[in-house]
């Protein structure tokens, strides 16, 4: 039986941060991961350049049944704290857009920083280690694992969410929560592309690869970013962001020309007397391939496409404005956990201390990172949550 002060199950962003913090406090720490290497999601993140934080982080960019839960940790460990760490390793990075910070070189640099920090704290990292059973003792836990029996005082569950099972995601953390009587909220794939079917799928397929700036709206949330048509449906940052707020059966409204008023443009074009077509006029503002396909939609009377602009009726102009500014679609589904960046929902935050991350009903058991019911926007927010929750728990484990 090997003994540690702290065992962290899951060597991802939150687990490594928690282990390094606890190790540097002098705790004897081991990280157990069932995968063949740790930090796989860090390596694949941000298109290989890891969008490791966002300088505009506020609690409003996180979704949880209890929106107050994340406030304390986000205050105690801010993006600037992570930047201090990054500066200490002379990591070259840049701000891409909307406060999103990316590595100049590769995501591996972020993982190397975390592993170096773990090293400083004497943390042991054990891969290919599956935990078979967990039993609570009078003070601490006994684990049976494929690498033998382990005892620890504090046990941290940092096994992440369900997205990308091929990268090592499992529902293990939720099962541990249930074993110890913690409730788990409903989970769904989030930051995920929408699938389409029937006629709309054919349209998306014919436009596959076309990207344009839009606003996407669902409920009272609205995002102004790019939309990308794909051979399965809709993707791009605007769609991923709104998917965080979307529930099956709900409509999404998309403004395909968000920086212009088509109503005003049509008035101007009618007034200037030039004889170019609607298609040519719109192609100055939108990708031509998109305009050609869009004007063929049954949303618009056929006459609209062929009529001289000056002859458009008020009703036809209104149909055009609706079709470009208020395209409403009810996606039949999403691409699911296969491509989702995160899982919405998780271990109910009401059962966990927002200060220590310890389960309120089980002394010594902690939950950090994405396994909790806290989901961030696209743009470095989810890593910031992993760093903040991992760091704060690391102070107490």
Ligand X SMILES: Cc1cc2nc3c(=O)[nH]c(=O)nc-3n(C[C@H](O)[C@H](O)[C@H](O)COP(=O)(O)OP(=O)(O)OC[C@H]3O[C@@H](n4cnc5c(N)ncnc54)[C@H](O)[C@@H]3O)c2cc1C
Q: Should residue 44 be labelled a site residue for ligand X when binding is judged by CB under 6 A?
A: yes
Given a contact cutoff of 8 angstroms between Cβ atoms, the answer to whether 192 and 339 are in contact is yes
Please tell me whether residue 147 binds ligand X under the rule CB under 6 A: no
| Cross-strand pairs, 62 | 376
Measured CA angle at 183 (ends 148, 59), to 5 deg:
105
The token pair that represents 352 in the structure block: 């966990």
Least Cβ distance, residue 41 to ligand X (angstroms)? 4
Q: What angle do CA 236, 240, 243 make, to 5 degrees?
A: 140
Q: Any contact of residue 236 with ligand X (CB under 6 A)?
A: no
DSSP characters for 110-129? HHHHHHHHHHHTT-EEE-S-
Among all chains, which residue has been given the structure tokens 């049954």?
298
One of 79, 160, 237, 345 touching ligand X (CB under 6 A): 160
Assess 369 for contact with ligand X (CB under 6 A): yes
Residue list 251-290, contact with ligand X (CB under 6 A): none
The region of 108-116, 274-282, 296-304, 380-388 touching ligand X under the rule CB under 6 A is 380-388
Rounded to a whole number of angstroms, the distance between the first and last alpha carbons of the chain is 20
- Which residue, among 135, 151, 127, has the nearest Cα to 37 in the 3D structure? 127
Among 294, 383, 387, 391, binds ligand X (CB under 6 A): 383
Minimum separation from the CB atom of position 105 to ligand X (A):
14
Q: In what order do the strands lie in the sheet with 252-255?
A: 327-329, 252-255, 211-218, 221-229, 233-235, 194-195, 333-334
In the shown chain, the binding pattern of residues 46 to 85 toward ligand X, with x for contact by CB under 6 A and - for none, equals x---xx----------------------------------
Phi-psi map region of 171: left, alpha, beta (phi>0 left; psi -120 to 50 alpha): alpha
Q: Which residues pair with 188 in a beta bridge?
A: 344
Q: Is 20 in the site for ligand X (CB under 6 A)?
A: no
Regarding 172 and contact with ligand X (CB under 6 A), the answer is: yes
Count Cβ atoms below 10 Å from residue 183 Cβ, excluding itself.
13
Residues 109, 225, 255, 370: which binds ligand X (CB under 6 A)?
Answer: 370
35 lines the binding site for ligand X (CB under 6 A): yes
* Per-residue binder mask for ligand X (CB under 6 A), 326-345, x = binder: ---------------xx---
Binding mask 120-139 for ligand X (x = CB under 6 A): ----------xx--------
If one asks whether residue 397 binds ligand X (CB under 6 A), the answer comes out as: no
Binding site for ligand X (CB under 6 A): 9-15, 32-35, 38, 40-41, 44-46, 50-51, 130-131, 158-160, 163-164, 168-170, 172, 341-342, 369-371, 380-383, 386
């Amino acid at each position: 039986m090997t003994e540690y002060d702290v065992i962290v199950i899951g060597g991802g962003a939150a687990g490594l941060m928690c282990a390094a913090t606890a190790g540097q406090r002098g705790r004897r720490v081991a990280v157990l991961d069932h995968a063949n290497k740790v930090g796989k999601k860090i390596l694949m993140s941000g298109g290989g350049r890891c969008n490791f934080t966002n300088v505009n982080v506020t609690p409003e960019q996180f979704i949880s049944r209890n929106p107050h839960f994340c406030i304390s940790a986000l205050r105690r460990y801010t993006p600037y704290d992570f930047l201090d760490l990054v500066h200490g390793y002379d990591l070259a990075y840049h701000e891409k857009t909307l406060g999103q910070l990316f590595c100049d070189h590769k995501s591996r640099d972020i993982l190397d920083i975390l592993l170096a920090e773990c090293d400083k704290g004497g943390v042991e990292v054990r891969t290919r280690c599956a935990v078979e059973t967990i039993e609570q003792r009078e003070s601490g836990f006994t684990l049976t694992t494929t690498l033998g029996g382990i005892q620890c005082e504090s046990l941290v569950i940092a096994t992440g969410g369900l997205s990308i099972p091929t990268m090592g995601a499992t529902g293990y953390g939720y099962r541990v929560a249930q074993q110890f009587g913690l409730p788990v909220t409903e989970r769904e794939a989030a930051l995920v592309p929408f699938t389409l079917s029937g006629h709309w799928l054919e349209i998306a397929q014919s436009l596959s690869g076309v990207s344009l700036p839009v606003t996407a709206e669902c409920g009272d949330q609205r995002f102004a970013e790019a939309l990308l048509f794909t051979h399965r449906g809709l993707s791009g940052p605007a769609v991923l962001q709104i998917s965080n707020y979307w529930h099956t059966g709900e409509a999404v409204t998309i403004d395909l020309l968000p920086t212009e008023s088509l109503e005003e443009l049509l008035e101007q074009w009618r007034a200037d007397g030039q004889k170019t077509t609607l298609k040519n006029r719109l192609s100055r503002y939108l990708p031509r391939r998109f305009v050609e396909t869009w004007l063929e939609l049954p949303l618009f009377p056929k006459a609209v496409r062929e009529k001289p602009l000056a002859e458009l009726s008020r009703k036809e102009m209104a149909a055009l404005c609706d079709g470009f500014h208020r395209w409403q679609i009810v996606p039949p589904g999403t691409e699911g956990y296969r491509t989702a960046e995160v899982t919405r929902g998780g271990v109910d935050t009401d059962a966990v201390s927002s200060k220590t991350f310890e389960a309120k009903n089980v002394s010594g058991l902690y939950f950090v990172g994405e396994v909790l019911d806290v989901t961030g926007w696209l743009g470095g927010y989810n890593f910031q949550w992993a760093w903040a929750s991992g760091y704060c728990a690391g102070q107490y484990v």
